[in-house]
Amino acid sequence: MPATPAPVTETAAPQPATNLKLPTGYTATLVAEGLLGPTQMIIGPDQRLWVAQLAGDENAGQGQVIALDLQTGKRQVLLDNLVKPVGIAVLQGYLWIAAKNNLLRAPLDAVGKPGKLETVFAKLPFNGRSIGTLTVTPQNHLLYETSGARAGNDAAPGSGTLWELDPANLKNPRPLATGLKGAYAHTFDAVGRLWTTEIADDPVNGGAAPDELNWVVEGANFGWPKCFGQQEAAKNYSGSAEFCQTTRAAVATFPPHTTPTSVVASPWEKETLLVALWVGGVVMRVPVTIQGDHATGTPTNWITGLQNAQHLLVMPDNTLLVSDFNGKIYRISR
């Protein structure tokens, strides 16, 4: 049996989050606490907040999906006994779950309750960490990644790829982009551009590769493991300047090992992305300059004071939910 989670609580009047530092003009309130290693948040079909959480050690098989009413603080366990659930999405009458290196789904009944889990893909190629979050596309397809594993100096077959899956055609997922070590999180902006984070996590040229924010265009090759960052060659993986010039450059980079676990388009500023960095507990603001089918951006600290910034979710009222892996959820308002 899984460990019994601590109660998720919310005060009748959400508390100002005095531990967080935000820019002038923004406020943060603590709206829930007591979660156990929350990963991805979505708005469920019942309009409650659905949250995947580890609920124990990373690979202990105690993971859950819970439904949380942010008005009352009441919660309900929807599914449990999951191994490392890091991604969830609701699409075409199913709850989809990225669990370790498996893609699962459960049918939803008339009131939105998940039924029995079934495996869509098992033992997907991955780098031993996870296959990241799930994203629904404007075409009602599902985005998922297979994080990069190496075979010698090359990517192992099928790894390091961002995939688009049509639920009506489960046997034929379509690769959107390759050369990605860990495209953990993804989002679409208001005009349909697809952005993804990249957890690089590799030693390169005697140092460490930076983590990245990328703009994905179909068919792009971001170069991993031979290239990183701004088309730089990883000579220890047989990268060359000539080859790396044919790959797609990062929009922006973050310090190595900061682990960007979420990205959203800002609900308040056009052409601006917000990125959660797990290590350091920071949400970064990245205004981007679009130049044809490329973009550049300069990250700056936007929210500090979190323990481990995990996931960002834009709400229908244009507020932003920010989850901290320590079990808390904050609402950011302008």
Q: What is the number of other CB atoms lying within 10 angstroms of the CB of residue 46?
A: 15
When pLDDT is cut at 50, 70 and 90, the band that residue 13 belongs to is low
Residue 261 lies in a domain: yes
Q: Looking at residues 153-181, what average pLDDT do you find?
A: 96
Q: Looking at residues 117-132, what average pLDDT do you find?
A: 94
Residue 202 lies in a domain: yes
When pLDDT is cut at 50, 70 and 90, the band that residue 159 belongs to is very high
When pLDDT is cut at 50, 70 and 90, the band that residue 18 belongs to is confident
**Distance of alpha carbon 140 from its chain centroid, rounded?**
18
Contacts of 219-223 with C-beta under 8 Å, sequence gap 24+, read: 219/176, 219/177, 220/176, 220/177, 220/178, 220/179, 220/248, 221/177, 221/178, 221/179, 221/246, 221/247, 221/248, 222/177, 222/178, 222/179, 222/180, 222/198, 222/247, 222/248, 222/250, 223/179, 223/247, 223/248
Whether the predicted pLDDT of 240 surpasses 80: yes
* Residue 64 backbone phi and psi in degrees, to 5: -140, 160
Element (H, E) at 107: strand 102-107
Residue 212 lies in a domain: yes
- Whole-angstrom distance, CA of residue 302 vs CA of residue 309: 12
Q: What is the CATH number of the domain that holds 188?
A: 2.120.10.30
Residue 291 lies in domain: 27-333
When pLDDT is cut at 50, 70 and 90, the band that residue 8 belongs to is very low
Of 17 and 230, more confident: 230
pLDDT in tens, 277-321: 999 999 999 999 999 999 999 999 999 999 999 999 999 999 999
Question: Mean pLDDT, the chain, as a whole number?
Answer: 94
Whether the predicted pLDDT of 5 surpasses 50: no
Residue 8 lies in a domain: no
When pLDDT is cut at 50, 70 and 90, the band that residue 17 belongs to is confident
User: Comparing 7-11, 139-143, 272-276, which segment has the lowest mean pLDDT?
Assistant: 7-11
Q: What is the pLDDT of residue 28?
A: 97
Closest to 29 (Cα-Cα) out of 40, 43, 19:
19
When pLDDT is cut at 50, 70 and 90, the band that residue 58 belongs to is confident
Whether the predicted pLDDT of 12 surpasses 70: no
Q: In this prediction, what percent of the chain has a pLDDT beyond 70?
A: 96
Q: What is the pLDDT of residue 197?
A: 98
When pLDDT is cut at 50, 70 and 90, the band that residue 16 belongs to is confident
Q: What is the pLDDT of residue 6?
A: 44
Residue 21 lies in a domain: no
Residue 4 lies in a domain: no
- Whole-angstrom distance, CA of residue 134 vs CA of residue 172: 17
3-state secondary structure 201-225: CCEECCEECCEEEEEECCCEECCCC
Q: Looking at residues 224-234, what average pLDDT do you find?
A: 97
* Number of independent structural domains in the chain: 1
The answer to whether 50 and 44 have CB atoms below 8 angstroms apart is yes
Q: Looking at residues 133-154, what average pLDDT do you find?
A: 96
- Whole-angstrom distance, CA of residue 181 vs CA of residue 228: 10
Residue 137 lies in a domain: yes
Q: Please, what's the b/e burial string for 313-325 (b: 16 or more CB within 10 A of its CB; e: otherwise)?
A: bbeeeebbbbbbb
The answer to whether 171 and 153 have CB atoms below 8 angstroms apart is no
Residue 18 lies in a domain: no
Q: Looking at residues 241-256, what average pLDDT do you find?
A: 98
Q: What is the pLDDT of residue 14?
A: 74
The answer to whether 284 and 302 have CB atoms below 8 angstroms apart is yes
Q: Looking at residues 81-87, what average pLDDT do you find?
A: 97
